[in-house]
């Protein structure tokens, strides 16, 4: 695993997804709702013929979002694949190790970068949540 991360904004806060878990970044397009899906799953989208669940990171982290998401960070970890709906992508950059603990099971910790506290997303936990686990 490298120290490179895709830095994103969600609900006015910054998070980072390990670049090793990211397949691509796509525009937030048409997403079809799925009845009975976990609360964090917005729905599914068609990504070049593949049906991809789209997980709302704002819901996962208990944040409110002022507008619709603009980007989907397509991730894969442990054989699970999903798109993470985010407000925007800040960039791809090396980040320091997470030195702060996080209260969320969906974060591996937090690090200071450019004077901002950045939550380090635990991709496996978020993808597990998209498969049916309860998201609080």
The pTM assigned to this predicted structure is 0.90
The three-state secondary structure class of 65 is: coil
User: 36 φ, ψ to 5°?
Assistant: 80, 0
Chain CA centroid to CA 95, Å: 17
Please tell me the distance from the alpha carbon of residue 74 to that of residue 103, in angstroms, as a whole number: 25
- pLDDT at residue 2, rounded to an integer: 56
Cα 101 to Cα 74, 85, 97, 117, 124: the distances in Å are 26, 24, 11, 11, 17
Tell me the pLDDT tens digit for each residue of 28-70: 999 999 999 888 899 999 998 999 999 999 999 999 988 899 9
pLDDT band at residue 25, thresholds of 50, 70 and 90? very high
pLDDT band at residue 120, thresholds of 50, 70 and 90? very high
Q: What average pLDDT does the segment 82-91 reach?
A: 96
Strands 41-47 vs 50-56: parallel, antiparallel or unpaired:
antiparallel
User: 110 φ, ψ to 5°?
Assistant: -145, 150
Can you list the domains of the chain with their CATH numbers? 4-130 (2.40.50.180)
């Amino acid at each position: 695993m490298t120290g490179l991360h895709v830095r994103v904004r969600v609900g006015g806060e910054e998070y980072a997804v390990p670049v090793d878990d990211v397949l691509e970044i796509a525009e937030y397009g048409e997403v079809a709702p799925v009845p009975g899906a976990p609360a964090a799953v917005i729905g599914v989208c068609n990504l070049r013929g593949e049906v991809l669940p789209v997980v709302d990171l704002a819901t996962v982290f208990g944040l409110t979002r002022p507008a619709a998401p603009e980007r989907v960070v397509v991730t894969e970890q442990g054989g699970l694949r999903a798109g993470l709906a985010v407000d925007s992508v800040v960039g791809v950059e090396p980040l320091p190790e997470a030195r702060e603990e996080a209260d969320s099971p969906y974060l591996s910790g937090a690090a200071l970068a450019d004077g901002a506290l950045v939550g380090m997303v635990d991709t496996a936990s978020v993808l597990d949540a998209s498969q049916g686990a309860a998201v609080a």
